[in-house]
Amino acid sequence: MTTTATETRSVVVEREIPFPPEKIWRALTQPHLIEAWLMKTDFAPVVDQRFTLRGDWGSVDCKVLTLEPNRTLTYSWDAMGLESVVTWTLTPTGAGTQLRMEQSGFRADQKQAFVGAQYGWQKFFAELGAVVGLAAFRAVAHQPGLLEDPEVLGHGRLRDPGPGRQGADRLLALPAEPLEKRPPRGVGEGSEELVVGVLHA
């Protein structure tokens, strides 16, 4: 008996982000921030909580499976015949956090969904980077006067206080960093995992 019909593939995206896990965790679990980089949602960080992700093209039915604050988050991702699981892993590093996302459960006959996920998660990660301030990281490094403003964090912007904070209402919008393509690390030949891209500040 063959097991080919039951074999599944995964899309894996990894990126080192120069911010602590707590900051990234906020972007992964607070609905207004999730909307800024992914989709509109009624997500709540509670195990067994059901929630929906809503986009212009339709919606995704989800359920929180596991949760360990600032470390791991797993939820089901069911849409248009695809029954998959998304797992986020946050690992502290000397430079910030290694963020890993894996969406598993793509059957061999779901090639279109698999290819779509490769493209989609690359786009979502770019947006997520902006939400946690990655897009503005280089500008902050060269302009120490810029202060991060949590209220505009979801827009990937920084508030420029200006001399004597007189310019406190002036927002500086910064472009996102481009993705750097690289081959998967530690993935053996024949593996079904795919690292879409890695971004280094």
Q: What is the domain partition of the chain in residue ranges?
A: 9-136
Q: Between 198 and 17, where is the model more confident?
A: 17
Q: Rounded to an integer, what distance in angstroms lies between the CA atom of residue 36 and that of residue 56? A: 14
Residue 22 near residue 132, CB atoms below 8 Å: no
Q: Helix, strand or coil for residue 156? A: coil
pLDDT in tens, 109-158: 999 999 999 999 999 998 998 888 854 443 344 444 433 444 333 333 33
- Residue 3, burial from CB neighbour count under 10 angstroms (0-12, 13-18, 19+): exposed
The residue type of 162 is G
Query: Cα 132 to chain center, whole Å?
Result: 10
Q: Between 175 and 48, where is the model more confident?
A: 48
Predicted local confidence at residue 5, as pLDDT = 57
Neighbours of 45 (CB within 10 A): 15
Predicted local confidence at residue 134, as pLDDT = 53
- What confidence category does residue 169 fall into, taking pLDDT thresholds of 50, 70 and 90? very low
Sheet containing 8-17, strands listed edge to edge, beginning at the edge strand earlier in sequence: 8-17, 96-107, 82-93, 72-79, 58-68, 50-55, 40-41
Task: Compute the residue count for the chain.
Answer: 201
pLDDT in tens, 81-110: 999 999 999 999 999 999 999 999 999 999
Q: Rounded to an integer, what distance in angstroms lies between the CA atom of residue 198 and that of residue 37? A: 17
- Is residue 61 predicted with pLDDT exceeding 90? yes
Q: What Rg, from alpha-carbon coordinates, does the chain have?
A: 18
Q: Rounded to an integer, what distance in angstroms lies between the CA atom of residue 123 and that of residue 97? A: 19
Domain 9-136: CATH architecture, name and number where available: 2-Layer Sandwich (3.30)
Predicted local confidence at residue 57, as pLDDT = 84
0.75 exceeded by the pTM? no
Predicted local confidence at residue 168, as pLDDT = 26
- Residues whose CB is less than 8 angstroms from the CB of residue 39 and which lie 6 or more positions away in sequence, other chains included: 53, 54, 55, 60
Q: Helix, strand or coil for residue 70? A: coil
Q: Rounded to an integer, what distance in angstroms lies between the CA atom of residue 10 and that of residue 44? A: 25
- Is residue 197 predicted with pLDDT exceeding 80? no
Q: What percent of the chain has pLDDT over 70?
A: 64
